[in-house]
Structure 1
Amino acid sequence: MSGTQATDTPKNGSSVAADRIPHGWITNRINRMTLEEKVGQLFVTYAYGATADTVDPRNQSAHGVDTAAELIDRYKLGGVIYFAWSDNLHDPQQIANLSNGLQQVAVEQRMHIPLLISTDQEHGIVTRVGAPATLFPGNMALGAGRSTDDARTAARISGAELRALGINQNFAPVADVNVNPENPVIGVRSFGENPQLTADLTAAQVAGYQERDGVAATAKHFPGHGDTDVDSHIGVPIINHSVDEWWELDAPPFQAAVGAGIDAIMTAHIVVPALDPAGDPATLSHPIMTGILRDELGYDGVVITDALTMQGVRDTYGDDQVPVLALKAGVDMLLMPPDIDLAYNAVLDAVRSGEISERRIDESVYRILRLKFQRGIFREPFVDARSIDDVVGTPEHRAEAQRITDATTTLITNDAGLLPLAADDDAGEVLVTGWGVSTTETLAEAIGRRGPATETFWTGGNPEQATIDDAVARAETADLVVVATMNARGSDGQQRLVKALLATGTPVVAVAVRDPYDIAYYPEAETYLATYSYTPGALEAVAKVIFGEAAPEGRLPVTIPVADNPGTVLYPYGHGLTYTSTD
């Protein structure tokens, strides 16, 4: 980028082997840093605004500054995280310019240290950067597809596109093993319930994200958030696995990530009594963060907390204690403290009082600077906004995303042999109904392109009886009904809607557009598909499967239990029907 200040760094590639890390160069830089500059490197937070200099009153209420630039300058931040709600993610040009502006502020400081710029681009239901960036299947869809090559390809392309926007760290992949169908916070964000499958796909994604010119991958949420029915955003999950169960179920994906050379691991705000009888959240647990992750798994990369705004880490200790305890546990970076000034000064006070040694701070700063060097961020902190269209959302990338998505749709029941349908102009009228305004519209458009006349009737997340009656009346005059459900477990209205549509006698294709477990709440459905997300690519893939353009290839990466008897299997892990495509 022309007209910017370069950082003083050895000239190496953007991915550096361990034996080429300039230890002396990093150590010398740390020795020249003030304590305040060192502590600043430990913090990652958000700022409101589409540019570095955008004045947004929400910055004052959140951080006591007017702009993102002021926030970086005041606290010498190690990183910034992007969200749509913080007005950071409009379009590729804006994102790239924001990234360049933030990096300009960082490298103009005394120590010229560029930022880690991160986001949560998990894909599927957690996608921060939308189209025109390429949108890939989420983890559980990739688990259904079973292909490590596809998982790596998705991560490689996504990483390259993020890097072109100036985002150099992705908080992905999710490495949690989702063994609990009632899990409210992980679910389809996980590759599945099988530890080995999850480990294989985690390692593949780490390799893909961290290919040359890619991003730092971040496996989450250590030590494993897959077996809980509590959301750590609002409560304190307790995982009651024994030590042996933890090593068997939860550990393998994180072991695989470490073996693949992952740059960062994110903590979970969960309590695992078998791993730490003191009952502290893992984020604040020295036995877990240091004893297990550092010592037993041998991980020496960056450890970052999950957001410190979450209730799971705030129930027992004050917001001034949490960052200090996390550092004492072995964490390196502190994500989104509720009050950054309070947290920053609490860490400074802890060092000045001797509660935390400056040497301990230096260890974390070393890991952070090493990561920035390994990813080539010191060498190239800026991006060329003129080259975005050559990387982001190219036709080749979109085609790969659709190919990968097509292989993930899972046909779970086809008892009446309804599928595949013949695509012709005389296919009659199809009613597309159920959850999601854009979901039903997008699915109807995909079906309509294949010949039938379509009617769209959105019923909402928990339809009332009058809405269900309206949907039934429309179904009775249609030739086919396609009904989308999303988390039917938590919606009595969605369950009643599907059962009422099935009772009309009109053929019904039920499509779960998030959790595959939905069929447990309407097991009488004879034709049922799982897509694992409601992205346009996933809905296009299901239309292809319905009309036989693509054979359903996905296999369940989880077990679907009977709704009122969780110990009984309705559909087993690995189940999936198929047929020969017409193409």
Structure 2
Amino acid sequence: MSLRDKVAQLFTIVVWGPKAGAASKENEARYGVATPAEVVEKFRPGGVILFDWAGNVSGAEQVAALTTGLREAAARSGEAPLMIGVDQENGLVSRLKPIVTKLPGASQIGATGKTANARDVAKVTGAELRDLGISLDFAPVADVNINPRNPVIGPRAYGSDPKKVAAMVGAAVDGFHAAGVASVAKHFPGHGDTSVDSHTGLPVIRHSKTQWRKLDAPPFRTAIEHGVDAIMSAHVVMPKLDPSGDPATLSPRILTGLLREELGFDGVISTDALDMAGVRKKYGDTEVAVRAVLAGADILLMPPNLPKAYDAVLDAVKSGRISERRIDESVLRILRLKDKRGVFGPIRTDPGALKSAAHLEIAHRVFAAAG
């Protein structure tokens, strides 16, 4: 792969519109081309993330056609296939809400006290994503919701007990994998004890390293033990883990020191969305992308200005600030993940299989157990 194509693999982006060939003014403004297919052909990104607010979701047949069209565009233009992902946590964060089986969110599953429910719900979710041509879910949430005033996690977490949350997270990872879909535990090193929403500000968590190991780390440790494909960083400052004042997304001490070295994670590290205020406060958008790679991130998720972020990372490699070997490490992890989850092979969609009787029965059972 050329250096340009390797750098492109690091980016997972948003495209606007319901069809691969449908023109959108939003794509034109952001990317200089009109259709989602043209965006993929022009920039050759490693991944695309679907959103209802980007006009990507109106029906099962439509989503399946969109993912197929995006993959075909990637095949025409680049050497590596496209990984298509989504934020489908169920409950509060459900980007595919109108078209998939309605399933309980994490807090409801946690309330049942049975890890089998976490596994079953994740397996149903994963199966329906595969039927839509989606290979990666940015779930499960591995945060321990120990702050009742938390404005951004709350019911998205399985609960407030680290051991119970860890067991649920491990079971959910197993469920996604049983369905053949990649799972992403989030938000490392833990977003559960915040009173600020990192979409709009920069939360500070003052846990000591001892507290972190006891309160925040167990679900991530368990996710790793269960072979989780990727872990997403949090845009939170933990000054006792890294006194620099940088959010975890930009912290080598946290992403490389704690996640890679202490917890032994060798999978893919994804940033949380780089268009969120929590990561944009201290540095400009181009510098953020470079610093995330230097910190240890592999996937740069949703940069607010893809052309500028891409050029910044490319220039950093050419100048020697980022070594090409460092880029190769990330690309290899991303390609291994794509290979493991079948993205290199033919992907057959089956949108008619959504909301099957078996899936609806599981949903009814878990909702009933949650009370």
Q: Shorter-chain TM-score: which interval? A: over 0.9
Structure 2 SS opposite 1:108: helix
Cα drift, residue 64 of structure 1: 2.3
Structure 1 residues 231-272: Cα deviation after superposition (integer angstroms, max 9, x where no partner): 000100000111110000000000000000000110000000
1:82 counterpart letter in structure 2: L
What is the CA distance between 1:73 and its match in structure 2? Answer: 1.3
Q: Please state if 1:340 is matched with 2:306.
A: yes
DSSP-derived class of the 1:71 partner? helix
Give distance in 2, aligned partners of 1:383 and 1:334: 27
Q: 1:288-327 maps to which residues of 2 (within 5 A)?
A: 288-327=254-293
Amino acid across the alignment from 2:173: V
Q: What is residue 112 of structure 2 aligned with on the other side?
A: 145
Q: Report the alpha carbon displacement of residue 65 of structure 1 after superposing the two structures with TM.
A: 1.9
Aligned twin of 2:12: 44
Equivalent residues in 2 for 1:78-157 (5 A)? 78-111=46-79, 113-157=80-124
Among 171, 174, 184, the alignment partner of 1:204 is 171
Q: Deviations over 1:432-466 (max 9, x none)?
A: xxxxxxxxxxxxxxxxxxxxxxxxxxxxxxxxxxx
Aligned to 1:210, the other structure's residue is in SS state helix
CA distance in 1: counterparts of 2:180 and 2:51, whole angstroms: 20
2:39 to 71, 79, 104: 71
Name the counterpart of 1:395: 357
Report the AA paired with residue 186 of structure 1. Answer: I
Counterpart for residue 366 of structure 2: 404
- Partner secondary structure for residue 329 of structure 2: helix
Q: Does 1:247 align with 2:210?
A: no
Q: Which moved more, 1:193-202 or 1:51-60?
A: 51-60
Match of 1:173 among 132, 140, 144: 140
CA distance in 2, matches of 1:150, 1:227: 25
What is the CA-CA distance between 1:151 and the residue it aligns to? 0.7
Does residue 283 of the first structure (1) align with residue 263 of the second (2)?
no
Partner letter of residue 135 of structure 2? N
Match of 2:348 in 1: 383
In the superposition, the TM-score normalised over structure 2's length comes to 0.99
CA distance in 2 between counterparts of 1:60 and 1:304 reads 26
C-alpha distance in 2 between matches for 1:62 and 1:131: 27
Partner residue in 2 for 1:231: 197
1 or 2 for the larger relative contact order (CA 8 Å, sep ≥6)? 2
- Equivalent of 2:2 in 34, 37, 44: 34
Query: Is contact 1:145-1:408 (8 Å) kept?
Result: yes
**8 Å CA contact retained: 1:161, 1:392:** yes
List structure 1 segments (4+ residues) > 6 angstroms apart after TM superposition. Answer: none
Residues in 1 aligned to 2:59 and 2:99: alpha-carbon distance in whole angstroms: 8
Any unmatched runs of 5+ in structure 1? 1-32, 410-583
Give the 3 Å change call, closer, same or farther, for CA 139–348 of structure 1 in structure 2. same
Pairwise CA RMSD:
0.9
Whichever residue aligns with residue 39 of structure 2, its letter is: L
Q: Distance in 2 between matches of 1:388 and 1:71?
A: 25
Work out the CA distance in 1 between the residues paired with 2:189 and 2:25.
Answer: 38
Q: Is the 8 A contact 2:146 2:192 kept in 1?
A: yes
Contact 1:154 1:208 in 2 (8 A): yes
AA paired with 1:90? S
Q: Secondary structure at the match of 1:320?
A: helix
> What is the aligned residue count?
371
**Partner amino acid for 1:251?**
A
Which letter does structure 2 place at the counterpart of 1:379? G
Which secondary structure state, in structure 1, belongs to the residue aligned with residue 183 of structure 2? Answer: strand
String of CA shifts for 1:505-555, please: whole Å, max 9, x gaps.
Answer: xxxxxxxxxxxxxxxxxxxxxxxxxxxxxxxxxxxxxxxxxxxxxxxxxxx
Instruction: Please state if 1:55 is matched with 2:23.
Output: yes
Residues 139-192 of structure 1, C-alpha deviations (whole Å, 9 max, x = no match): 000110111111101101110100110111000000000000000000000011
Tell me the TM-score normalised to structure 1 length.
0.63
**Counterpart residue type for residue 161 of structure 2:** N
SS of 1:134's partner is coil
CA contact (8 A) 1:131 1:393 kept: no
Matched residues in 2 for 1:93 and 1:220: separation? 29
Q: Report the equivalent of 2:225.
A: 259
Which amino acid in 2 is paired with 1:303? I
Q: Is the 8 A contact 1:49 1:68 kept in 2?
A: yes
Q: Determine what percentage of the aligned residue pairs are the same residue.
A: 51
Q: Is the 8 A contact 1:270 1:281 kept in 2?
A: yes
Tell me, yes or no, if the aligned pair for 1:60 and 1:66 is still in contact at 8 Å.
yes
Quick one: distance in 1 between partners of 2:348 and 2:25?
28
- Other-structure match for 2:182: 216
Deviation at 1:55? Answer: 0.3
Q: Determine helix, strand or coil for the equivalent of 2:285.
A: coil
Displacement of 1:379 after TM fit? 1.3
CA contact (8 A) 2:41 2:76 kept: no
Residues 96 and 383, structure 1, Cα contact 8 Å, conserved in 2 = no
The correspondence for 1:190, drawn from 157, 161, 169, is 157
- SS state at 1:407 partner: helix
